[in-house]
Structure 1
Amino acid sequence: MPSPHPSQPTRARDALGSAETGESPRGQSRIGRRSVLAAAGGIALAGFAASPASAAATTTATTAGRSRALSIRGADLSFLPQLEEAGVRYRDLAGRVRTAERIIAGAGATHQRIRVWVDPPEGYTDKARALALARRAKRAGLKIVLDPHFSDFWADPGKQPIPAGWPTDLPALTEKVRTYTRDLVREFAAQGTPVDIFQMGNEITAGILWPVGKLYPDDGTQRWSEFTTLLKAGITGAHQGAGRAGLKVMLHIDRGGKLDDTRWFFDNITEWDVPFDIIGQSYYAMWHGSLAQLKENLEDSVSRYGKPVLLAEISYPWTFEDGDGRGNIVTADSELPDIDRFPATPAGQAGLFEAVRDILTGIPGGNGLGFLAWEPEWVPGVGWEPGAEAPNDNLTQFDFTGRALPSIKAYRRP
């Protein structure tokens, strides 16, 4: 999710230029070899040879007869340590005080996503805090989805700033991305919390590491070469850091119900030979279309690219009230296309999660991997930046007092 500041309702969600129109953005796709590349699964090119781990990572898109149970059910809990430091305590549906990661694990979760920034403000998730979160996740029985933003703070379709102190020319920046990623993944493995899924950047719909890797600079060009060179460097580094244990690579964009935008992005990614294993999408009903559009898009991606899909971020309001009285980004004036079916109530939120589960389990071949709720523990107590508000406190899976809401039942296996 983009940095949740007050301007987020616009949130540069039209970075591709077609979020509302549904028209194919930025002209025609370069897709001459798409079907061949999709069948091959992609090979790292542009100077980065595929590692043995990369070659061994295979898509599940053609696997037949898989269980209808979602293989990935989890959440991003990156604010959790800060909330605990602010005095927040969590209770499960029975009212028992437990840590948030153990509550979702007890409900059936399998994975925890962990955000990591390079040099964020004091107290926010740097490498040391991310490693500590991973140790907690493992003790709770959860696998790790690692989400480096490749930035000192929030990175999203509206901004992807290069960390202070990193190089700003393409060759040096490419090498920095590779070595940073290699060392980061290696440290997770060294402490006994290996990365299961590596997310190459956060909502990279408009590129990474701006201005060098900005996909759509202001001059009207498209910088696929620079962007994909940086992607390949990070992916190579991730496989190097994982070693023989291997990991899966996810590319994550924010186009859940936007079929034409998704095709445009992944047609080009495939044409530029970027190797990856999972298509990751953000889906927020207030920005990314209806459930019917989500279903159409996910099924199209599986068929078109031969890759499984994962909802890397999802949340939905359980109330329109404001827990800290300082404003929320989703209010009664927000557009929720299925609001009649799923009102902003605890029951409505649970219903939305159940509907999403139904979509994912219905994707042929078991290729709807699952979902990751975004910051479901972010109740009032910690701002999106130091001194700011918690503008997502009505999108959580815990009420304002920290008690679990019925939607956590969506983590169950069956």
Structure 2
Amino acid sequence: MKLLLVSMVMALLSQSAFAQSDFVKGADVGFLTGQEKHGVKFHDREGKERECLELLKNDYQMKAIRMRVWVNPRGGMNDKHELLAMAKRAKALGMDLMVDFHYSDSWADPAKQPIPEAWKNHDYKQMKKDLREHTIDVLSLLKANGIEPRWVQVGNETANGLLWPMGHIEQNPKQYAGFIRAGYDAVKKVFPRAIVIVHLDRGHLQSLYDYNLDIVKKYAGKFDMIGMSLYPYWAMQDHPELNPDGIITDCMANIRHCSEKYGCDVMIVETGFEVDEQHPEKMDEGRRQLTRVIREARSETNGRCRGVFYWEPQCLPGGYKLGAFNSNAAPTTIMEAFNE
């Protein structure tokens, strides 16, 4: 009996240590290439000019980047070559990579999932082939250049499906799951070890995850990990009766629920908090909220939340209000949450 108790304690300690050591802090930096092309120079809190990825890694413990990829975007923004260039920079710094397939020529999110122009007149069977070939093409380019992503998202915030209307979750639920399965299989063909993520928004809304992921499972869709977006700011814009702490509490409960129900790990792949240089108390509040998110994601999810990624922290407040840098392209106090 004594030996059994010792073994159980050691197992729990081992699990706790694994959860702590394998917890990833990261950043989506899809805008970074464009910012640099427009001459943005980044600085640390002391005003010293720094390379952005190096600053994120060495000052804020961010050990991974997330990059979206579009199919045939105008001007090459977020195409596979821009992805490769940023992936090379991350690898040189020893940072891991998450690839976020939108399966669109531009933005894909819960409000829109537009079919790429080149795929528009294709039937479901051909569109699955298009999705598969695009996935393999992009990942093969990375592989040929010595880049192996640790995670790959099959779709971006696919709460209502993807490739509308062909893969709309209400109109064609079986086809939505079929697209997820096709993407999963394509990823594994190139990178068998990659962790494939299905990504939904509103991480605090358990009913959304039950509805969507039950459909994916019912129709033989596959995934290794669940990705969540968590934005208390946007949730309260839609529902003013909510409060940030309640949203965070509900998200943590949903992480525990999903990990148990679907038998997989979870990651917060997007989050962000308001930068308002005229009202610094808002940034103090953002730091408080983010500190709580990171702390509880590590300690209150039974070890099943594997990390937190901030969406475009390097954005300046004039362009996007939920970044985490100020108008001088230096980190605000929000970023200090990654060091707490």
Q: Same fold (TM over 0.5)?
A: yes
Q: Which amino acid aligns with 1:252?
A: H
Offset of residue 403 of structure 1: 0.8
The correspondence for 2:174, drawn from 225, 230, 238, is 225
- Aligned residue in 2 for 1:257: 204
1:221-370 maps to which residues of 2 (within 5 A)?
A: 223-243=172-192, 246-288=193-235, 290-319=247-276, 343-345=281-283, 347-370=284-307
Give, in whole Å, the separation in 2 of the partners of 1:123 and 1:168: 24
TM-score, normalised on structure 2?
A: 0.87
Offset of residue 229 of structure 1: 1.0
Offset of residue 320 of structure 1: 6.9
| Contact 2:255/2:304, CA 8 A, preserved across alignment | no
Change (3 A) 1:67 1:209: closer
Give, in whole Å, the separation in 1 of the partners of 2:274 and 2:230: 13
Report the count of equivalent residues: 314
The correspondence for 2:15, drawn from 36, 44, 64, is 64
Q: CA RMSD in A?
A: 2.0
| Contact 1:185/1:238, CA 8 A, preserved across alignment | yes
Give, in whole Å, the separation in 2 of the partners of 1:272 and 1:320: 48
- Aligned residue in 1 for 2:29: 77
Offset of residue 407 of structure 1: 2.6
Change (3 A) 1:291 1:271: same
The correspondence for 1:186, drawn from 129, 135, 140, is 140
- Aligned residue in 2 for 1:92: 44
The answer for unaligned runs of 5 or more in structure 2 is 1-13, 236-241
Give, in whole Å, the separation in 2 of the partners of 1:320 and 1:266: 40
The answer for unaligned runs of 5 or more in structure 1 is 1-62, 218-222, 322-331, 333-341, 382-389
The correspondence for 1:149, drawn from 102, 109, 119, is 102
Q: Which moved more, 1:73-82 or 1:87-96?
A: 87-96
Q: Which amino acid aligns with 1:307?
A: C
The correspondence for 1:400, drawn from 322, 327, 340, is 327
The correspondence for 2:312, drawn from 375, 384, 388, is 375
Give, in whole Å, the separation in 1 of the partners of 2:273 and 2:153: 22
TM-score, normalised on structure 1?
A: 0.72
Change (3 A) 1:206 1:371: same
Give, in whole Å, the separation in 2 of the partners of 1:352 and 1:67: 21
| Contact 1:183/1:241, CA 8 A, preserved across alignment | no
More helix by share: 2
Q: Which amino acid aligns with 2:306?
A: L
Give, in whole Å, the separation in 2 of the partners of 1:352 and 1:189: 38
The correspondence for 2:90, drawn from 120, 137, 140, is 137
Q: Which amino acid aligns with 1:284?
A: Y
Change (3 A) 1:196 1:103: same
Give, in whole Å, the separation in 2 of the partners of 1:400 and 1:320: 8
Give, in whole Å, the separation in 2 of the partners of 1:92 and 1:74: 17
For 1:369, what is the secondary structure of its paired residue?
A: strand
For 1:135, what is the secondary structure of its paired residue?
A: helix
Give per-residue Cα distances to partners, 1:79-111, cap 9 Å, x unaligned.
Answer: 101111111111122322112111111121111
Give, in whole Å, the separation in 2 of the partners of 1:287 and 1:92: 28
Change (3 A) 1:320 1:258: farther
Give per-residue Cα distances to partners, 1:188-239, cap 9 Å, x unaligned.
Answer: 122122111000010011111112111124xxxxx21111111111111111
Q: Percent identity?
A: 28
Offset of residue 365 of structure 1: 3.7
For 2:221, what is the secondary structure of its paired residue?
A: coil
Q: Which amino acid aligns with 1:170?
A: Y
Change (3 A) 1:343 1:308: farther
Offset of residue 344 of structure 1: 1.4
Change (3 A) 1:410 1:187: farther
- Aligned residue in 1 for 2:53: 101
For 2:229, what is the secondary structure of its paired residue?
A: strand
Give per-residue Cα distances to partners, 1:232-252, cap 9 Å, x unaligned.
Answer: 111111111225xx2000100
For 2:117, what is the secondary structure of its paired residue?
A: coil
- Aligned residue in 2 for 1:208: 162
Q: Which amino acid aligns with 1:122?
A: G
